[in-house]
Structure 1
């Protein structure tokens, strides 16, 4: 199966944002949606640029399956704001002939625009062979908030093969380029995932500055500045999806805090089920 979906938004000239192109390609279905409580912090962050438009991606069928090639193009016009989410997790499944599936995502955020992108968790089921390649281009003054969550197999199963690459460029210069390979030799060793069942990250890029993360997310997480002071990346490992989401939600609250409030005090509000160590590891 080959499918291509396109989403483009633009500023409406009245402090808001409108959808210019909303073209689905089954099974990639794009839908305008109402505000969601789960996305409220991200939406408030995006609203510092303009009143955001909200769109969710939903799967019209089981996908991707081995052999599928899916493409998604997203464009946020200058001065606009978009909150992009997903209705449900993505389950990567093997195909009948052992072929590899692929998802290519190209994102362009125009000058002075903002994108808050909260995709659902990706679950690498046993036997899958999949590659995801995400390329994000930020124009001058553009802002980006991106959360990623990956689960290594369903309950009680070993994952298949998964390669995920994320590359972000700001004003033509690379600020982040990372690839995670699951199922390759050593993927669950101490230098990569250390036997954890879930991995994720939260990236916030903002030329106006990002609040400093407190760094007390536990021994299996790290907060790292992006080059040139353009933002912060929090990378994390966790035993399960619930623990990973709690950690990333705490990072989201920190990195989107208004300038007059500052980040959370980790001593006053420790994360549940997290070690007390204040020395984050870079084991990922």
Structure 2
């Protein structure tokens, strides 16, 4: 299934944010849930292997946009063949974007590819989180590949790919994490900080925090402790 979402946030009268474009098709609908907030709502179970989703977010100068989702997404294997499911987030930000969606659970036999590409103007603010769990309760893990690329004021700031699960180059059972969480923030600098299984590393104009472990709730709390 092909899914397309587009949201545009613009500074309106009196400095409030208006959303002139809010639309979704395929597996995701978009609902405005606050003055400058939207939630993505799944209209079908999945994603299934072979599904392709693209989420395009534009936040113009002076605007603020918060993007959330209603529930965790469960990535399932293709009915035929070995095709991955794909979700791409493409963001153009001159204002402030807060992207914090619910976790992705990758079922046994599934391969889900997630990508965030953010183009930030000078002075833009970005906070983006990723939460992943490989396998449901009592189930063998699926595979997840996530790529994050952030360009700030024309300069590459972050470009990283993380691969987890069977078939990923760094997957080395029995010591192999089933849960992963990360947050990238641009807009306010911070230094190095570690806590448990989490680490926060500085960027020129922000920071990135990551954690791996056996349980999702544990790694989420670990990232929050250093964020």
Question: Normalization by structure 2: what TM-score?
Answer: 0.92
Q: Which residue of 1 aligns with 2:85?
A: 101
On the 8 A contact 1:5/1:73 being kept in 2, the answer is yes
CA distance in 1, matches of 2:76, 2:118: 26
Q: Over aligned residues, Cα RMSD in angstroms?
A: 1.9
Task: Say if 2:222 is the partner of 1:247.
Answer: yes
Per mean C-alpha deviation after superposition, the further-off stretch among 114-123 and 96-105 is 96-105
Give the number of equivalent residue pairs: 225
Task: Say if 2:189 is the partner of 1:210.
Answer: yes
Task: Say if 2:177 is the partner of 1:196.
Answer: yes
CA deviation string 1:168-207 (max 9, x = no partner) = 11011111111112222553338xx94222111111111x
CA distance in 1, matches of 2:69, 2:23: 16
Q: Which residue of 2 aligns with 1:235?
A: 210
Matches within 5 A, 1:32-51: 32-34=32-34
Question: Normalization by structure 1: what TM-score?
Answer: 0.74
On the 8 A contact 1:16/1:80 being kept in 2, the answer is yes
Cα distance change of structure 1 residues 8 and 187 upon mapping to structure 2, 3 Å threshold: same
Q: List 4+ stretches of structure 1 deviating above 6 A.
A: none
SS at match of 2:13: coil
CA distance in 1, matches of 2:223, 2:97: 18
SS at match of 2:163: strand
Cα distance change of structure 1 residues 249 and 221 upon mapping to structure 2, 3 Å threshold: closer
Higher strand fraction (1 or 2)? 2
SS at match of 1:155: coil
CA distance in 1, matches of 2:4, 2:62: 26
CA deviation string 1:207-228 (max 9, x = no partner) = xx33446x2411x2211111xx
Cα distance change of structure 1 residues 132 and 138 upon mapping to structure 2, 3 Å threshold: same
